[in-house]
Amino acid sequence: MDRMNDTLIDVPRGLTNVVAASTRLGDVRGHEGFYHYRQYSAIDLATGRTFEEAWYLLLFGELPDAVQLTAFRERVAAARRIPDAVRDLLPAIAGLAGDDALAGLRMALAAVSAADGARPVYDEDEAARLEDAVRVAAVSPVLLAALHALANGADPREPRDDLGHVANYLYQLTGAVPDAAHEHALSAYMTAAIDHGFNASTFTARVIASTGADVASAVGGALGALAGPLHGGAPSRALETLDAIGTPERIDAWVTRAVTSGGRVMGFGHAVYRTEDPRSRMLREVAEGFGGERVDFAVTVERRVQELLAELKPGRELHTNVEFYAGVVMELCGVDRSMFTATFAAARVVGWSAHILEQAADGKIVRPSARYVGPAAPVPLPAA
């Protein structure tokens, strides 16, 4: 519900399908099974370009040429550095956050912002806002990898300027420089995860940015929204489903029990897509490029779940979502399960930061209305 000229206008719960703002960054066309970043298919970018090229596109509106891409990669590498004062705080942050990587990143980003002396976007010009946006997105995976190492009793690895954004993240997580196949696989996933419409976390980032707050504060709010079980999802749960099923001969009984008892088969279904999730289709192809028993089993489970649903719930179509094969791909790339959602966040922070810049340029604070449904007012105050 909104208020126009003192007249309240009813809107759907959760603002479903309500147009809250205009954006040039991208769109999700759920009934078509398609989404894009600016003028390009997000899936084409994920499979045919690097993560940095998609990042550059969102920030500047066009794909970079070779010279621009080299300069942008150098800019990102320089923005990865953790301030010394924050480095000293990371063990305490890791101790407080434990295995909650998103909580750890929220605390660490706030510390980096303070150490950098970041200013509210309201007080900055376009160039300074852009610098802050690149800084927050570049340092986030470095912080995540460092906190993961500390939580597991290891020393964080220093970022390497000679590695691209995704390759460096994998190196810091695993200690090994990834080969081209693994770098491309994780890059495809992370590029596909950069942006996906006005979801809860993206909208949260824009609301905070509309107040003129600093970039890290807006990203911190988005991380808080992503941490909610109804939003962020968990690719690890899809792998846990595969683990629980165990073998091909157990698929029918396990799925039938889950469906008839009203439970969920993790990794299936999406709030927007009414066709196959294009991200799932792309990641299945990436996984099949590696092959192996794990991949074969995942493909078998996907096919059989859909066949069983057709029998048990006629007329109900349910396709795999991005989580199902994301977990498989990240596992193949050596990413620990505890870092699956964090890896998604490391990609999505690029989209959030682009939305923050767009909202900051608009200059209008987001201020909706609410319909009061409590007791009638005013009521005389009873005597003391």
Where would I find the H helices in 193-277? 200-210, 215-226, 235-245, 251-260
Backbone angles phi, psi at 366, to 5 degrees: -80, 120
CA atoms within 13 A on the CB side of 63: 15
Instruction: Give the 3-state secondary structure of residue 7.
Output: strand
Contact partners, residue 269, CB within 8 Å, separation at least 6: 318, 319, 321
Q: Is 270 a catalytic residue?
A: yes
Compute CA distances 162 → 103, 165, 171, 193, whole Å: 29, 10, 11, 24
Backbone angles phi, psi at 371, to 5 degrees: -90, 120
Q: Please check whether residue 110 is in contact with residue 215, taking contact to mean a CB–CB distance below 8 angstroms.
A: no
CA 256 to chain centre: 31
Q: How many CB atoms lie within 10 A of CB 60?
A: 14
Q: Which of 52, 183, 302, 323 does the annotation list as catalytic?
A: 323
Backbone angles phi, psi at 7, to 5 degrees: -110, 125
Q: Is 323 a catalytic residue?
A: yes
Q: Which of 270, 302, 319, 331 does the annotation list as catalytic?
A: 270
Report the alpha-carbon distance of residue 326 to residue 280 in Å, rounded: 8
**Paired residues of 334 in beta bridges:** none
Report the alpha-carbon distance of residue 21 to residue 1 in Å, rounded: 15
Provide the token pair at 319. 């396709």
Q: Give me the active site residues, please.
A: 270, 323
